[in-house]
Amino acid sequence: MPLPFADRLNHVETSAIRELFKLLGKPGIISFAGGFPDPAMFDIEGIRQASSQALIEEPGAALQYGATEGYGPLREQLGAFMASKGVAVAPEGLIVTTGSQQALDLLGKTLINPGDKVIVEGPTFLATIQCFRLYGAELISAPVDAHGVKTDELDQLMAEHRPKFVYLIPTFGNPSGALLSLERRRQVLAMAVKHQTLIVEDDPYGDLYFGEAPPPSLLALSDSVPGSRELLAYCGSLSKVLSPGLRIGWMIAPPELLANAVMCKQFSDAHTSTFAQATAAHYLKSGRMPATLAHVRQVYGERAAAMGRALKRELGASVTFDQPQGGLFFWARLTGENGKLTDAGQFAREAIKQLVAFVPGAPFYAAEPDKATFRLSFATADVGKIDEGMARLGRAL
């Protein structure tokens, strides 16, 4: 007998990407497909010390049930971390979530009625597309270029569709790698006020820059645009800079939105692991974070530079891309030059035969996909593997 699943599951399907990931176990494969940080970047010694301290100094609290809003000392440390990035927020002004993924889910749960419109970037983070669709959202796609979402188009879409909210990854987007310019950031904030529409800023990559620091977050800039702070929900994460296994994310949002998110979180996981939160709090307090950030920026920066050089060398005019200034991803597009492939799905299948993997771009679009696009992560392969992997890609095309 078929099990009586809820209708909401009809809005989502397992992604094509998961099917591709099944092939990644092939021996000898070089994968640029994942969105994972490199485990070699984890500050294991620092996390070991922090977790020991949690067990030595406050074992009762670290192993006990805790407040849904988050563990007090971690909320304080995250407040200080945000202050170092130009955002003034009291510990009560943020809640701890189980990864920023849970913050996105809580936003979906608290805000989306079936049929509500939500504007996302085209392309955007696949799990967000799936999550918002699960709640019945109708997703509208706003185009992106190297400077982030195109604000003229976004303004028109906001006027036309009156969305429930707009979801953006302004800093080194996944998968686009795009960095929203300062000018466009100011425009987005002004548009939030003009249309009285909530903007969700998802920011897991903002600390992963390779050269100059990116412009301040929308949240940091909101003080200079009157009325915009009340229309912003910010999601942060320690996943990409420290460890995704800790599952520490946070959300900063207007008080009534946070209160509703906390209510929903109560019925979901009650609270994020207190042990993980206590560990993260000790880690942030230890003062090791700046050195950790400097290290990941340097290593990923070298890998991004190597991938850019190798892509040009091995694929030449067959692809176009913008060199990412931070984050974990290259977003490239097949040009079809000299009769070469233009379908990235087909290219991915040819690449697997050459023992190299990446993710085709189509699933990252909530609307009409650009099938010539694909995403390459440079995070987990060293420079030698990147060079070898790009040479294999050249043979696959």
Ligand X SMILES: Cc1ncc(COP(=O)(O)O)c(C=O)c1O
- Enumerate binding residues for ligand X (CB under 6 A): 35, 99-101, 125, 169, 174, 202, 204, 237, 239, 244, 249
Residue 326 CB, nearest approach to ligand X (Å): 13
Report helix, strand or coil for 283.
helix
Output the smallest distance, CB 102 to ligand X, in A.
Answer: 7
Please identify, using beta-carbon distances, which residue of 154 and 169 lies nearer to ligand X: 169
- Tell me: cis bond preceding 123? Omega within 30 of 0 counts: yes
DSSP H/E element including 337: none
Checking 157-161 for CB contacts under 8 A at 24+ apart, the result is 157/119, 158/119, 158/191, 158/195, 158/197, 159/195, 161/117, 161/119
If the CB atoms of residues 68 and 100 are measured against ligand X, the closer one turns out to be 100
Q: Which is nearer to ligand X, 125 or 283 (CB)?
A: 125
At closest approach, how far in Å is the CB of 196 from ligand X? 25
The CB-nearest residue to ligand X is 99
Q: Which two tokens stand for residue 53?
A: 């301290």
Q: Which is nearer to ligand X, 141 or 237 (CB)?
A: 237
Q: How far apart are CA 159 and CA 162, in angstroms?
A: 6
**Smallest distance, ligand X to C-beta of residue 117, A:** 20
* Nearer CB in complex with ligand X: 210/329: 329
Provide, rounded to whole angstroms, the least separation between the CB of residue 244 and ligand X: 5
> At closest approach, how far in Å is the CB of 175 from ligand X?
8
53/325 with CB nearer ligand X: 325
The minimum distance between CB 176 and ligand X, in angstroms, equals 10
CA 104 to chain centroid = 10
**CB contact at 8 A, 190 and 225:** yes
Task: Pick the closer one to ligand X by CB: 187 or 237.
Answer: 237
CB of 154 to ligand X, least distance (A): 18
**Which two structure tokens, joined as six digits, stand for 371?**
């099938």
Q: How many CB atoms lie within 10 A of CB 14?
A: 8
Name which of 329, 366, 358, 361 is nearest 179 in CA terms.
329
Query: Which residue, 310 or 332, has its beta carbon nearer to ligand X?
Result: 332
Do 132 and 118 form a contact (C-beta atoms < 8 A)?
A: yes
- Two tokens at 197? 């529409």
- DSSP helix/strand/coil, 205: coil
- Residue 7 CB neighbours (<10 A): 8
**Distance in angstroms (rounded) separating the CA atoms of residues 249 and 241:** 12
